[in-house]
Amino acid sequence: MSAPNTDEATAMPAGAVGSLTFDANGLIPAIVQHARSGEVLMLGYMNEMALQRTLETGLVTFWSRSRGRLWQKGETSGNTLRLTDIRQDCDGDALLVLVEPAGPTCHTGRPSCFHRTLQGEALSERLPSSIILTRLVDLIHERNIKQTSGSYTVKLLQGGVDRIGKKIGEESAEVIIAAKNYSDDELTYEMADLLYHSLVLLENQGVSIENVWAELDRRYR
């Protein structure tokens, strides 16, 4: 593949540029990951100008190898990627781009481009499985903002700390009972209830789940 040579591109020599190493075409692979859920969303390529544009605007921009120009993700669809952080790998020849996506990342309408098996079969499961917590947090927040009619979540939020706290107390007791019954299925079900109601309480109090992750990380360290 020949190096990009349009006016918009900055031709990059092979070798290190600063602490990064671009290839012979002046490009570096950029793995895009959801900053909160950890889901891998896509793989793109950046040249130095795309990287600079990303840092300046806060919106992830790539070098399109097929179109031979800079390409801001979501420039036509609106499904932009808001930058939260960038890290380089140990060799400086690949980037990890952490983002907050606005809508699906894949052109197929899927949240992630990585949704097929090696045989090409489309899968509905998303990886890692723990992203359900982030998805649930986002859904609870959306219900709160929209005040969705008939929503159990909205009813809990409208009831405030008293109603939510009562449910957390009930679910905590049921978790203990399930454990004393030595029932894996019962414990799983009741723990899911407890986690859900705890997330509703965090939304009610305006406390981010990331605050909890940070506290757990502090304790672990």
| CATH classification of the domain holding 137 | 1.10.287.1080
| CATH classification of the domain holding 44 | 3.10.20.810
- Comparing CA positions, the residue from 12, 47, 11, 17 lying closest to residue 29 is 47
Task: Please report whether residue 6 resides in a domain.
Answer: no
Task: Please report whether residue 177 resides in a domain.
Answer: yes
Task: Please report whether residue 4 resides in a domain.
Answer: no
Q: Do 89 and 163 lie in a common domain?
A: no
Task: Please report whether residue 116 resides in a domain.
Answer: no
Q: Do 135 and 96 lie in a common domain?
A: no
Q: Do 20 and 80 lie in a common domain?
A: yes
Q: What is the pLDDT along the chain (221 residues), one digit of tens a residue?
A: 344 443 444 444 444 456 899 999 999 999 999 999 999 999 999 999 999 999 999 999 999 999 999 999 999 999 999 999 999 999 999 999 999 999 999 999 999 999 999 999 999 999 999 999 999 999 999 999 999 999 999 999 999 999 999 999 999 999 999 999 999 999 999 999 999 999 999 999 999 999 999 999 999 99
Q: Can you give the pTM of this predicted structure?
A: 0.81
Maximum CA extent, the chain? 70
Residue 19's pLDDT is what?
87
Q: Are strands 20-22 and 15-17 parallel, antiparallel or unpaired?
A: antiparallel
Q: Do 88 and 42 lie in a common domain?
A: yes
Task: Please report whether residue 114 resides in a domain.
Answer: no
Q: Do 136 and 216 lie in a common domain?
A: yes
Task: Please report whether residue 107 resides in a domain.
Answer: no
Residues in the chain: 221
Cα–Cα distance between 79 and 102 in angstroms, integer? Answer: 5
- Give the domain extent around 148: 131-220
Task: Please report whether residue 8 resides in a domain.
Answer: no
Q: Do 83 and 149 lie in a common domain?
A: no
Residue 108's pLDDT is what?
94
Domain end residue (candidates: 101, 120, 143): 101
Domain end residue (candidates: 101, 121, 144): 101
Task: Please report whether residue 5 resides in a domain.
Answer: no
Instruction: Give me the number of domains the chain comprises.
Output: 2
Query: What is the residue-wise DSSP string for 57-105?
Result: HSB-EEEETTTTEEEETTTTTS--EEEEEEEE-TTSS-EEEEEEESS-S
